[in-house]
Structure 1
Amino acid sequence: MVKLAVDSEKCVKCGTCSDICVAGIIEPGDVPHVSKENALVCMICGQCEAVCPQGALELVDPSLEGTMDNKIGDIGSSKQIGNYLRGRRSVRHYKNETVDRKVLEEVMDIVRYAPSAGNGQPVKWMIVHDPVKVKKVAGLTIDWIKNVINEAPPDQDFTGFNLLVEAWENGTDLVLRGAPHVVIAYAEQDENNPMSQFVSVDGVIALTHLDLALPSFGLGSCWAGGLFMALNQWPPLAEELELPEGHTFIGAMMVGYPQYQYHNIPKRNKAVVDWK
């Protein structure tokens, strides 16, 4: 059970923690507190801990892990953030160089802060770090594509899939683009848990955090759509990746050092916005 620890010497009794509590369970007083009954309702979201200007609050739970520096600091100007987001590119050409596991661990330490429905934090990760295994995963994806083509009606158009197979057979990987690593998101799928309906969205949000965090480490990424289509439909892939029973794949991303650097921001369609 989570516990709300309050430093009474730092607390100025401003009541902000009580106001901001998502579950509405923090009771103000001489010292903010949560009753034992209400502690079970706590979402462990950390809003109270984050908002306290005095740093007087701390959520205590053995499952929680903080960061070395828990101060938010400067997030940059709107122009800086705007340029960064507009300049984000999918990387499909990678250096023949592996990324140190410690670097990827640093990245994942950021990604674990991605928001999720009800702060459920259901997303788990597989990192295929061995480039040889990455190539095997790409090959299994090609096997799935071939199976889809073979079992489909003869008049069905598989131009895109045929190009992938032809390239593979000629020594070019258009599935995972020769990326040295692949990061895969997965989660438990429990039909009896109403929050399970959100896991796919939670996974996409977490993968987007990964996508946006990587460039600050000099890394690039690309959403692995072909692999994702195959993951939940081709048992040999689930077996190779040892997907735990009762879990489902949510998405996948290629990761590595970019072979090329981008210098300009391309055009995009105008935003379609309906003002109400």
Structure 2
Amino acid sequence: MVKLAVDSEKCVKCGTCSDICVAGIIEPGDVPHVSKENALVCMRCGQCEAVCPQGALELVDPSLEGTMDNKIGDIGSSKQIGNYLRGRRSVRHYKNETVDREVWEKVMGIVRYAPSAGNGQPVKWMIVHDPVKVKKLAGMTIDWIKNVISEAPPEQDVTGFNLLVESWENGTDLVLRGAPHVAIAYAEQDETNPMSQFVSVDGVIALTHLDLALPSFGLGSCWAGGLFMALNQWPPLAEELKLPEGHTFIGAMMVGYPQYHYHNIPKRNKAVIDWK
């Protein structure tokens, strides 16, 4: 059970933690507190801990892990953030170099802060770290594609799939692009839990956090759409990756050190905004 630890010497009784509590369970007073009954309702979102200007309170739960530097600091100007987001690129050419697990752990230490519905934090990760295994996944995806082609009705256009197979057989991997690693997001799919309807959205948000965190480590990524399509449709892939029973794949991403670096921001369509 989560507990709210308050440093009474730091607390100035401003009531901000009580106001901002998502569940409305923090009771103000000489010292902010949560009753034992209401503690069961706590979402463990940390809004109270994050908003306290005095740093006077802390959520205590054995399952929670903080970060060495818990001060937010300067997030950068709108120009800096805008240029970073506009300059983000999908990387499809990688160096023949693996990423140390220590680097991966630092990256995932950021990604775990991705928001999720009800702060459920349902997203789990498979990091395929061995490049040989990554290539095997690409080959198994090709097997699925061949099966799709063989079962496709005559009127279905499978031109794109034929190109993937032909390229693979000619020695070019257009599925995982020779990336040394693949990150796969998955989660439990419990039909009795109403929050399960949000796990796919939670997973995409987490994958986006991964995508945006990687460049700060000198890494690049690309959404692995072909592999993702195959993951939930080709049983041999689930068996290969040992997907736990009751879980579903949410998305996949290629990861590695970029072979090329980008210097300019290309054009995009204008934003479509329907003002109401």
| Same topology, TM > 0.5 | yes
SS across alignment from 1:127: strand
Cα deviation, 1:159-198, whole Å, max 9, x if unaligned, reads: 1000000000001000000000000000000000000000
SS across alignment from 2:185: strand
Distance of 1:234 and 1:119 partners within structure 2: 31
Distance of 1:102 and 1:27 partners within structure 2: 41
SS across alignment from 1:203: helix
SS across alignment from 1:254: strand
Cα deviation, 1:200-239, whole Å, max 9, x if unaligned, reads: 0000000000000000000000000000000000000000
Distance of 2:106 and 2:160 partners within structure 1: 36
SS across alignment from 1:53: coil
Runs of 4+ in 1 over 2 A off after TM superposition: none
Cα deviation, 1:96-143, whole Å, max 9, x if unaligned, reads: 110111001100000000000000000000000000000000000000
Residue correspondence of structure 1 range 80-159 to structure 2 within 5 A: 80-159=80-159
2:72 maps to: 72
Distance of 2:29 and 2:77 partners within structure 1: 38
Distance of 1:172 and 1:144 partners within structure 2: 17
Distance of 2:211 and 2:116 partners within structure 1: 16
Cα deviation, 1:234-265, whole Å, max 9, x if unaligned, reads: 00000010000000000000000000000000
- Deviation, structure 1 residue 16: 0.2
Distance of 1:59 and 1:112 partners within structure 2: 17
| Aligned-pair identity (%) | 94
2:16 maps to: 16
SS across alignment from 1:125: strand
- Deviation, structure 1 residue 153: 1.1
SS across alignment from 1:75: coil
Distance of 1:88 and 1:244 partners within structure 2: 33
Residue correspondence of structure 1 range 178-193 to structure 2 within 5 A: 178-193=178-193
SS across alignment from 1:8: coil
- Deviation, structure 1 residue 154: 2.6
Distance of 1:108 and 1:165 partners within structure 2: 33
- Deviation, structure 1 residue 275: 1.0
Cα deviation, 1:66-121, whole Å, max 9, x if unaligned, reads: 00000000100000000000000000000011011100110000000000000000
Distance of 1:240 and 1:264 partners within structure 2: 40
Cα deviation, 1:36-91, whole Å, max 9, x if unaligned, reads: 00000000000000000110000000000000000000100000000000000000
SS across alignment from 1:252: strand
Distance of 1:137 and 1:90 partners within structure 2: 20
- Deviation, structure 1 residue 155: 3.2
- Deviation, structure 1 residue 156: 1.8
Greater Cα offset, 194-203 or 155-164: 155-164
1:26 maps to: 26
- Deviation, structure 1 residue 152: 1.2
Greater Cα offset, 191-200 or 146-155: 146-155
Distance of 1:214 and 1:160 partners within structure 2: 29
Distance of 1:162 and 1:90 partners within structure 2: 23
1:49 maps to: 49
SS across alignment from 1:222: strand
Distance of 2:224 and 2:14 partners within structure 1: 48
Distance of 2:161 and 2:152 partners within structure 1: 12
Distance of 1:259 and 1:267 partners within structure 2: 23
2:39 maps to: 39
Could you tell me which runs of 5 or more consecutive residues in structure 1 were left unpaired when the two chains were aligned: none
1:240 maps to: 240
2:163 maps to: 163
Q: TM-score, normalised by structure 1?
A: 1.00
Distance of 2:186 and 2:199 partners within structure 1: 9
